[in-house]
Chain A
Amino acid sequence: MKITAPISTPAEVEPLVRAGARELYCGVVPPDWIRRFNTSGVNRRVFGNLNGYADLERVIDNAHTLDAEVFLVLNAQQYGEQHLDALTEIAAHFRSIGGNAAIVADISLIASLTANVPDLAIHVSSVATCRNVESARFFAQLGARRIILPRDVTVAEISAIATELPELDIEAFVLNDGCVFEEGTCHTVHLPMNKGGPICIDNYQFEYRAASGEAPAERALRRLEKNDQDYKRWLWYRFGNGFSVAPNGYPWGPCGLCAMPAMHAAGVHSVKIAGREGASERKVKSVELVHEVLRRIEDGEPETKVRECAVGLRDAPSHCASGYMCYYPEKRSQPEIPVHAQPA
């Protein structure tokens, strides 16, 4: 099982590979793209991209020297038909300088790359919301070599897909950055924070209505409001514990470390660390965290021991005990937490 990590500058290659990443993914906005299309939307993120083709070439050279692969994100949910040729040119250039795979969500672009850049591997982005065997077969037929599963799947679902389709590489999320909605069915942009930020944490003021159109009965409303409070707490975890890091520098959740033994056993090819836009130090600490767990799995430690280690790595097991910091809460380790150390 390999660790797939995000990069946004050539300087991140060496520390991330030394920390244990064997696969790196990045985006690039070619200099003529904005001039041609008057948008920076080459991929899903406006920020966190490499500075141009020269940087991309440096990333590939450095990574290959260190025996790591490089994947290019062309992962917007959709592209206009006017973009397809330009994107195919980007992918062809990427392949010509040694790039290993493109991460793609748009089915038209997948078809175009398969036809026109046949020696470039296609990884189906999590943005494609491919989360069943039949759908994975559909993408395989289009030319995909790897399926990156979306965030909100269960380990049982991951295992079923990986077991049923051994000819496909399966990649699953393991750390960082938690969309609330499914990426492939969230048709919004992350606005600047002063304009609202991501819609899932924007300041919507909602009121409940019953099916009749009226306010819910008092008792129901109390239950709904209690559920809202729990949800806010879950949201805080979903966004990295309020966008903070643990005292020892490791990133908070969302986290799938406890699920890694099961994913390894199921034959999952890679585990993905999200966060291209994050700081370099956060990326390195993320890889270190995942690598420590992977090392123990590969050394043959029993699953329970690995999970015990996983919840101890951040030195704050109470957050793990909340159950809200997990990508795969059904696999969380449940350490004994002293009452005084339990989260409020």
Chain B
Amino acid sequence: MTSTSTPTASITPNPPAGPIELGFALVDERELAAFARHERVTRDDYLEQLGDARQCVTLPDDAEPTHFFLGSEFCEHLLPSVEAIDRAVALCERWGVTFGLVTPIACDSLFEPLRAAFARLPAGAEVTVNDWGVARVVQREFPDLRPVAGRLLGKMLKDPRLPSATWARMYPNGLRAGPFREILDNLGIGRLELDFPPFGAADMYAGIDFPVGVRAPYGYIAKGRICKLGSLALDVPEKFSPGHRCRRECLGFSEVGARPGTRELQTSQRGNTMYYRHAPGMTAAIAEAVANGWVSRIVLSGA
């Protein structure tokens, strides 16, 4: 499901600055054990983690792992333990890749655990921030870390049900707006991570005056703070309400399906978040964006 869009910026290819960066983003810290058996990590090790969704990814021939991420963009209850962070940092040192901690939109009570987590990170580690407040804390208190704007901050319409590309143009993204660039600069953010949206095109990343990474092969559609699955073991008044500890049921179960009678993108829900899986046209468009130098990193992650 791709179509041609008309970016306002130049669509001149950027000369590739070198091989594309390749990351894998892991949410469930228990799965670190599977990675730990690798003395070195390869692109196949990353792709293998995607199961049958690996067919929805096209990587350049020279793409090899450069980054490894741990943590959730979507849930305050999935912040990795400091022990897991230590293990992941050690693995990255062994593999010779950069570690990144992924962080969600935060409530105030998450800031102390976040500070404890940041304190474990080596200089130069990345922090994927999805909350402006978290970005401020990283900049002010952990200047040795490198904040990356996560895809929750790179707003764009991503409704897989849209009947046509015309609908998708109703709210264009503002990623090229001057103030956006300036605000990210002021927060010390040097990189942007984005999704590939339904009805997107390769050149949607052209002219963004920032190094861009794309998540593949799943985009997220919507995320809430209320979690159906996380309420499984709760009762009223905690059930279906914010801020309550869950049992991380989302790491054990997900939902997959579609709207009856449609041929839309494969859709799934894990915990509080809905995802679509990239169709072949989307995979090809990302590969085109990489080839043109508009995207300099691919971050593989599940749904």
Contact = CB atoms under 8 A, between A and B. Distances in A.
B223 A234 contact: no
Interface in A184-236: 184-189, 191, 195-196, 199-200, 202-211, 213, 216, 220, 223-224, 227-228, 230-231, 234
A187 B157 contact: yes
Contact of B224 (A82, A154, A181, A326): A181
B156 A204 contact: no
B4 interface: no
A195 B222 CA distance: 18
B143 interface: no
A195 B163 contact: yes
Interface stretch (B34-42, B117-125, B133-141): B133-141
A196 B259 contact: yes
A161 B106 CA distance: 13
A111 B186 CA distance: 13
Contacts of B135: 138
B103 interface: no
A179 B170 CA distance: 20
Interface stretch (B11-19, B58-66, B88-96, B232-240): B232-240
B51 A213 contact: yes
Interface string B120-162: 0000000000011111110000000000000010011111011
Contact of A78 (B162, B167, B173, B238): B173
Contact of A152 (B163, B222, B225): B225
Contacts of B131: 129, 132, 134-135
A206 B224 contact: no
A187 B156 contact: yes
Contacts of A326: 237, 241
Chain B residues touching A, majority SS: loop
Contacts of A132: 106-108, 110-111, 131, 133
A231 B271 CA distance: 13
A301 interface: no
Contacts of A203: 259-260
Chain B contact residues (Cβ within 8 angstroms of A): what range? 35 or more
Given A108-B178, A187-B157, A204 B267 contact: yes
A15 interface: no
B243 to A, nearest CB: 5
A138 to B, nearest CB: 4
B259 A202 contact: yes
A129 B105 contact: yes
Contact of B170 (A39, A184, A209, A224): A39
Given A182-B223, A207-B257, A188 B106 contact: no
A208 B255 contact: yes
B269 interface: yes
B240 A231 contact: yes
Nearest to B231: A227
A223 B232 contact: yes
Shortest beta-carbon contacts, A-B, top 9: A134-B133, A135-B133, A80-B172, A323-B236, A329-B237, A206-B255, A78-B155, A111-B179, A206-B257
